Amino acid sequence: MIRYFVLQDNSLQETELMENAQWVHITPPISPLELENLSKQQDIPLDFFVDSLDIDERSRYDREEEASLILLNSPVLNNELRDNKAIYITVPIGIILQDDLIYTVSQEENPIIDKFIKGAVKGFDPVDHTKFILKIFQESVLNYLDALKKLNLKRNLIEQELYNSSRNSELKQLLRIEKSLVYFMNSLRANDLLMMKMKRTDFLKIRDNEYFEDLFEDIIIDNGQALEMSNVYANILSGTMETYASIISNNMNVFIHRLTIITIILMVPTLVASFYGMNLEYLPFSGSKYTFYFLILFSLILGMFLVWFFRKNRGGQ
């Protein structure tokens, strides 16, 4: 799907004609033929569009004579709600620059682009390509920070649940959070390298613009903060899962230990009774009418002795 936008009267409007557009946004469903036609019409390398739609593409930038490409990974909620999938994944946003037009390409509906379309980003002007790009970078970092806070809050709530009961559902949720953090760390690290390289090579040509330089520096700092938060949360979560795995293993060992003691305590009196269950003629006291009561009493005494013995040796702890 290809959408065309133009800024009119300080309001972003969607138009049906590409000739009037200042910003073009591309999302699936879109056919390869449509991409090929757009590539030929606008004299843009087809790889720029294809790479932007590849969910596994890393953050980078590329320059051709006809256009320039920036790929930035951003966080989105995972639509797959299965227990073995991450809560958040990262998908690339492709930004393609031409002299008079800017294109954004995303594999799926992206909350960052939605903010621009809905007019939720202040000072947005699609004609000012440099500011548009920096705003996309800024909104991406803010989305990372917001998602990290939500993941950390969710982790704390799950830990509280695990204090009361160790259920598989909570552990699966922790695993989903861990996978999300792995996505975040890889993407934030790649974004950090991209921004540092863009700053070093002055890709956006902002070296003489103090406002843009300061804004870009703030974005890089915030991205580094998000990366550090991801690392910290991932380490905490890894330690938490290892701790709960040890607790569960220890509880299982204690349970098996106690079950073994109970089995021994019940087995010895049963062994005594089993001897008198044999069909033999010359068992001791077999002719007495008090033998049954004597065996019951002897079994109880033997069982109590075993209980006392294990308690004395801390076997029942």
Domains of the chain: 2-250 (3.30.460.20), 251-312 (1.20.58)
Residues 6 or more apart in contact with residue 204 via CB below 8 angstroms: 130, 133, 134, 198, 212, 216
Q: Taking the mean position of all CA atoms in its chain, how far away is CA 268?
A: 54
Q: How does pLDDT run across 131-161, given as a tens digit for each residue?
A: 999 999 999 999 999 999 999 999 888 887 7
Predicted pLDDT of residue 173: 85
> In 3-state terms, what secondary structure has residue 4?
strand
Predicted pLDDT of residue 271: 76
> In 3-state terms, what secondary structure has residue 209?
coil
E runs forming strands in the chain: 2-8, 11-15, 23-26, 60-63, 68-77, 88-97, 102-106
Predicted pLDDT of residue 126: 87
Q: Residue 65 and residue 275: Cα distance in Å, rounded? A: 98
pTM for this predicted structure: 0.78
**Beta strands across the sheet bearing 2-8:** 11-15, 2-8, 23-26, 102-106, 88-97, 68-77, 60-63
Q: Average pLDDT, stretch 113-123?
A: 86
Q: Residue 73 and residue 62: Cα distance in Å, rounded? A: 15
Phi, psi of 169 (to 5 degrees): -60, -40
Q: Average pLDDT, stretch 2-15?
A: 86
Predicted pLDDT of residue 21: 87
